[in-house]
């Protein structure tokens, strides 16, 4: 595959192939190689990011592929955490954001009703 990809690049350099033909040939070689799992979606030259957007569901699809359908050498080395770990981290991130947002709402509402708050007295002095 590497040699054939190199040959496509050299043919492009020599003017024998267009850019589009070269890209198509390299993606064709990747598809034939079996190295790129379908769940990654990387065989589309216009969309080369493995998860698409980095939201929970696309990342979970990659995790589930890695945990249950990937080759054994990949599964044993890279996908050992599982969905529980991802879920736990998602809940922790959500909780952190919820606390920060709640604190901001509390301070805003408080300042609407009570002027001259003493927040400045509870914050450490800036470093020099």
pLDDT one-digit tens code per residue, 5-64:
999 999 999 999 999 999 999 999 988 887 787 777 788 777 766 656 777 787 788 888
**66: nearest Cα among 56, 78, 58, 52:** 78
Please state whether the predicted TM-score (pTM) of the whole model is above 0.95.
no
Check residue 116 and give its pLDDT. Answer: 67
User: Quick check: 90 pLDDT over 80?
Assistant: yes
Q: Can you tell me the distance from the alpha carbon of 40 to that of 84, in angstroms, rounded to the nearest whole number?
A: 21
């Amino acid at each position: 595959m590497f040699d054939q990809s190199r040959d496509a690049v050299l043919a492009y350099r020599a003017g024998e192939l267009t850019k589009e033909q070269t890209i198509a040939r390299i993606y064709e070689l990747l598809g034939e190689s079996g190295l790129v799992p379908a769940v990654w979606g990387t065989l589309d030259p216009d969309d080369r990011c493995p998860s698409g957007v980095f939201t929970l569901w696309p990342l979970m699809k990659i995790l589930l592929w890695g945990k249950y359908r990937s080759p054994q050498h990949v599964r044993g080395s890279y996908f050992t955490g599982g969905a529980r770990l991802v879920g736990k981290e998602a809940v922790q991130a959500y909780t952190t954001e919820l606390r920060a947002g709640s604190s901001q709402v509390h301070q805003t509402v408080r300042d609407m009703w009570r002027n001259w708050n003493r927040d400045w007295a509870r914050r450490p002095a800036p470093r020099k």
